[in-house]
Amino acid sequence: MRLEIAEVRVRDAAFAEGTRVSDGVLHIDAGELKNLLAEDRRLASVSLELARPGDETRICPVKDVVEPRAKAGDIGMFPGLVGKAATVGSGRTYVLKGTAVVTTGPVIGFQEGIIDMSGPAAPFTPFSSTFNLAVVTEPADGLDPHQYEEAIRLAGLKAACYLGNAAASVDPNEVRVYETDPIPEAVRRHPGLPRVAYVYMLQSQGLLHDTYVYGVDAKKILPTLISATEVMDGAIVSGNCVSACDKNTTFHHLNNPIIEDLFERHGRDLAFAGVIVTNESVTLADKQRSSDYVANLAQALGVDGAVISKEGFGNPDSDLIMNCKKLEALGIKTVLITDEYAGRDGASQSLADADRAADAVISAGNANELIELPPQKKTIGRLSEVDSLAGGWAGSVAKGGSIRVELQTIIGATNELGFGRLSARGF
């Protein structure tokens, strides 16, 4: 499969009549977009606000972040949810680079988060560096949390597609090409290099902890092979309310740095053998079934090594270790990427499960670390919701608007794809 990512770089954004990109500026027709999103009667109201890098602005509680994209042809982005239920991962996709759609509204599941565009929290989130269109929604009366989550999720995806269409009408600044080979051909190529697969664990524990693959809830799937370019092209969408620090937003899935790094090293010091997507289950039987299936797929691919990432903490730690143990037992070397919940002093056991086989682990940081956030001039969303977020507590928000919370509340602070600045060094 051959995918072309046509990037249109954005240096500023503003509301205007007619959505378009002109001289690097994204002009957004707020009235037209609001009318589009308001077609969903599950939303009582929709408002739009802009947040720029360096602004003294706080967005909370954040539910998802989506990069604006448009797919050439008639399939459309985010197949099975917005676009047609058809295979993506090939052709050309247009991207508004440097921008993001951020959805916010009343708390759904307490595990949502904060984006500060400036101040001490800004370096912990990649979305302090993007021009953000905040889609602020209110649910219709009587709407249950699952219905509201779906409505606001679709609003974010639709807004991203709407903006992404503006990229398709201008010349891109750069076109990046990614290509994958059929498995038999891939096996024949690069015979002297170690074959490495990527095991991509998706949050799927239910109770608003869901991820979608081609529109299907991942807890309903068996582990399967997927092309890396399909992931980069919108096949995987976030629908979960896990802790903000290690939530894989839809933006993260579209820009997975593990996949990009494996592509970069492919043919140089390793042979990228493909992506195995798997779920994070609740019951022991489901965990055993999925980890068995991951091991079978990796063995069928004939890989020498695997990179394993996860999403969330606690219960998913057991899935991570099961996958590690079963691959290592087959002689497949593993590298694990995880964050830690090691207590505010860093002295507690950082994962809920462990094994001697997990001897190559990359840490994305300690989510329990405390941080003090000064007041911001502007809040998009509801500052009062911070007290009820994971990593916050009653009294987290002081009278003057300053906040004392754990890193757990900041979107992307300890992201387990390595999409961040935190790590740890062993001694």
User: So which residues are the catalytic ones?
Assistant: 241
Q: Which two tokens stand for residue 143?
A: 């709407």
Please name which of 118, 139, 169, 107 lies closest in space to residue 43, comparing C-alpha atoms. Answer: 139
Q: Which residues of 316-342 are buried (b: 16+ CB within 10 A; e: fewer)?
A: bbbbbbbbbbbbbeeebebbbbbbbbb
CB 221 within 8 A of CB 279: yes
Residue with tokens 């989506």: 66
CB 171 within 8 A of CB 79: no
Q: Which two tokens stand for residue 279?
A: 């779920």
Residue with tokens 């009408």: 169
Q: What is the Cα–Cα distance from 255 to 233, expressed in whole angstroms?
A: 9
Bridge partners, residue 102, by sequence: 65, 134
Q: Find the Cα–Cα–Cα–Cα dihedral 102, 105, 111, 113, rounded to 10°.
A: 50
Q: What is the Cα–Cα distance from 59 to 135, expressed in whole angstroms?
A: 10
Q: Which two tokens stand for residue 388?
A: 């009820």
- DSSP secondary structure code for residue 201 in this structure: E
Q: What is the Cα–Cα distance from 170 to 22, expressed in whole angstroms?
A: 8
DSSP 246-314: G---HHHHHT-HHHHHHHHHBTTTBEEEEEEEEEE-SSHHHHHHHHHHHHHHHHHHT-SEEEEE--SSS
CB 366 within 8 A of CB 342: yes
Q: How far is CA 25 from CA 6, 165, 169, 176, 235, in A?
A: 17, 14, 13, 21, 28
Half-sphere exposure of 111 toward its Cβ, with a 13 Å CA cutoff? 19
